[in-house]
Amino acid sequence: MSKRGLTRSQLAEMCNVKQPVIARMESDIHSPQVDSILKVLTPLGYALQIVPMQEKHKSMKDIY
């Protein structure tokens, strides 16, 4: 049950995805695909925003 009172099945139906997609997102075991994220965010009233990273993390070399 989510903060909005929805079950995984209800959220999946609302977002037009299968229930296992929601379960995998919640479990944080797999990284969801961007299209799956958008399918869930949009019906919930959210948007995905890409913003610049902080200066110290701009280079991939700095991350690894």
The CA distance from 27 to 43, in Å, is: 20
Q: At what angle do helices 19-27 and 34-41 cross, to 10 degrees?
A: 100
What phi and psi, each to the nearest 5 degrees, are found at residue 30? -110, 150
CB 30 within 8 Å of CB 24: yes
pLDDT at 57 over 80: no
pLDDT band at 37 (very low <50, low <70, confident <90, very high): very high
Q: Model-level pTM?
A: 0.66
CB 8 within 8 Å of CB 22: yes
pLDDT band at 59 (very low <50, low <70, confident <90, very high): low
CA-wise closest residue to 2 among 12, 16, 31 = 12
The predicted pLDDT at position 58 comes to 55
